[in-house]
Amino acid sequence: MLPHAYRDVLALPRVRTTFLMIFLSRLPLTAVSVSVTLHVTEERGLGYGAAGALAAAWLLGAALGAPRVGRALDRFGARRVVSVCGACSALYWGFAGFLPYAAVLPLGLLAGIVAVPFAALGRQYMAALVPEHQRRPAFCLDMISTEAAFVLGPALAILLASHFSATTALTSIGLWIALASAALVTLGPPVSRGLAGPGARAGERRRRHRPDARVRRTLLMAGGSVFALMGMEIAMYASLRSVGHVHWGGLVMAVMAGASIVGGLVYGCLRRPLPHGALAAMMCVLVLPVGLLGHSWWLLAVALVPANLLCTPALVAATEAITKAAPAGRTGEAMGRYESVTRLGVAAAGPLVGMVIDRTSSGWGFTAAGLGGLALALLAVSPFRSPARASVRSSVRSSVGTTAPPGAA
């Protein structure tokens, strides 16, 4: 039975329906990587490099487009944005399996730019439907559903590819995105709009591109957390391969996901939140020594539990901090930046941690993942500028408001 904190959240109007819609809408995007890999390597006869390039093109586009799509959410509302992005994404994935690779690659970048922001929308919906004092368990449930989607989505893609074809899996992704977008347009709860409409003041428009110091710090820490998590996963597979236990990879991943879910459930029941920076730094530190226990699959699984217990809490704390720090009506842009940073963290971890593993050993991959994430967390709290000066500038901006001249800082 769920603790009362979660039961209270699920008892709120429209929350259960929204959770179900967001969970189902996330499934197709979690299946993109494995579907692309199977399609490019098995059906097109190209290598893993070509498959990785296509997935990276889409991921890069999504990272570049997320803040802009989030800004559009604030300006035009969810229904218009989801309608346009859903149509573009459905068309691309629906026909990607039938287009030549030379066309699919650049179109993948464009499709990523206008990808439907299902994850950001889920968090915005929770912020709109759930009172602030209940958002932590709501965000924990959202993150847990994301874990479940990343387990189920690739499995469904492999099932379609094995029984039919990888092209069928890609086409199904397009169809699923179309259906999910239609459901969100029809049934999704309203989210607040920002001040970037036709009547917005020029000063507000200029400042929409400048997240404040709290948001920037949180984004850096979130990027570090995702870098460490993705690097940890890569190093895990490399460790299992080095000892000939690759066939245990699924079970180890299940242990990691289970630990993350347990950590999220516990964190959602806490009355007082833990500092996001402390959670991110602790998680990265716990990744560092994992390589010392990579001699067998079960030792590796046990060693990965502590870091993964902090996975969901660290990401939920980041979401909660950004939601609180984002100006009223600009949650979409803030969540878009969050999505962008996390995708860049995923994209950076692969080549950097992989290069360390290639030049040293799999054990050092965990060290690289932890140190990389820790470096970003420390960078977030480093004194870029004097706190006193930042406070003075903030006070001046607040007092001057929109009467400042166009060139004022």
pLDDT < 50 positions in the chain: 1, 194-208, 384-409
Helix runs in 96-212, H state only: 101-113, 118-129, 135-163, 166-187, 202-207
**Cβ-contact 239, 294 below 8 angstroms:** yes
In one letter, which amino acid is 111?
Answer: A
Residue 9 located in a structural domain = no
Whether residues 235 and 274 fall in one domain: yes
Residue 395 located in a structural domain = no
Whether residues 186 and 225 fall in one domain: no
**Chain Cα centroid distance, residue 250:** 22
Q: How far apart are CA 208 and CA 93, in angstroms?
A: 32
Domain count, the chain: 2
Whether residues 41 and 160 fall in one domain: yes
Q: What is the DSSP letter of 328?
A: T
Whether residues 110 and 173 fall in one domain: yes
The 3-state secondary structure of 205-223, one letter per residue: HHHCCCCCHHHHHHHHHHH
Residue 244 located in a structural domain = yes
Q: What is the pLDDT of residue 87?
A: 94
Q: How far apart are CA 295 and CA 297, in angstroms?
A: 7
Listed residue (352, 266, 248) closest to 302, CA to CA: 248
Question: Whole domain around residue 106: which residue ranges?
Answer: 14-133+151-190
Q: What is the pLDDT of residue 212?
A: 66
CA distances 316 to 144, 155, 160, 339, Å, are 10, 25, 32, 13
Q: What is the pLDDT of residue 176?
A: 94
Whether residues 29 and 171 fall in one domain: yes
Residue 42 located in a structural domain = yes
Tell me the longest C-alpha to C-alpha distance in the chain: 67
Three-state DSSP at 11 gives coil
CA angle 115-116-120, nearest 5°? 115
Q: How far apart are CA 14 and CA 4, in angstroms?
A: 18
Torsion of Cα atoms, 14 then 15 then 21 then 23, to 10°: 180
Whether residues 67 and 126 fall in one domain: yes
**Cβ-contact 206, 259 below 8 angstroms:** no
Whether residues 29 and 75 fall in one domain: yes
Listed residue (313, 294, 314, 300) closest to 373, CA to CA: 314
Q: How far apart are CA 160 and CA 34, in angstroms?
A: 11
Distinct helix (H) and strand (E) counts, the chain = 18, 0
**Residues whose CB falls within 8 Å of the CB of residue 392, separated by 6 or more in sequence, listed in order:** none
CATH of the domain at 327: 1.20.1250.20
Whether residues 314 and 360 fall in one domain: yes
Q: Over the range 352-379, which residues count as b (16 or more CB within 10 Å of their CB) and which as e?
A: bbbebbeeeebbbbbbbbbbbbbebbbe
Residue 72 located in a structural domain = yes
Q: What is the pLDDT of residue 390?
A: 45
Q: How far apart are CA 193 and CA 208, in angstroms?
A: 13
Whether residues 227 and 347 fall in one domain: yes
Q: What is the pLDDT of residue 199?
A: 41
Give the end-to-end CA distance of the chain in Å, rounded to a whole number: 53
Whether residues 273 and 315 fall in one domain: yes
Q: What is the pLDDT of residue 210?
A: 59
pTM of the model: 0.74
CA distances 92 to 54, 85, 110, 111, 389, Å, are 13, 11, 9, 7, 49
CA angle 129-138-187, nearest 5°? 40
Look up tokens 């720090």; give the residue: 325
**pLDDT tens column, 111-139:** 989 988 888 888 888 888 888 888 888 88
**Cβ-contact 329, 260 below 8 angstroms:** no
Is 209 exposed, middle or buried (CB count within 10 Å of its CB: 0-12, 13-18, 19+)? exposed
Is 237 exposed, middle or buried (CB count within 10 Å of its CB: 0-12, 13-18, 19+)? middle
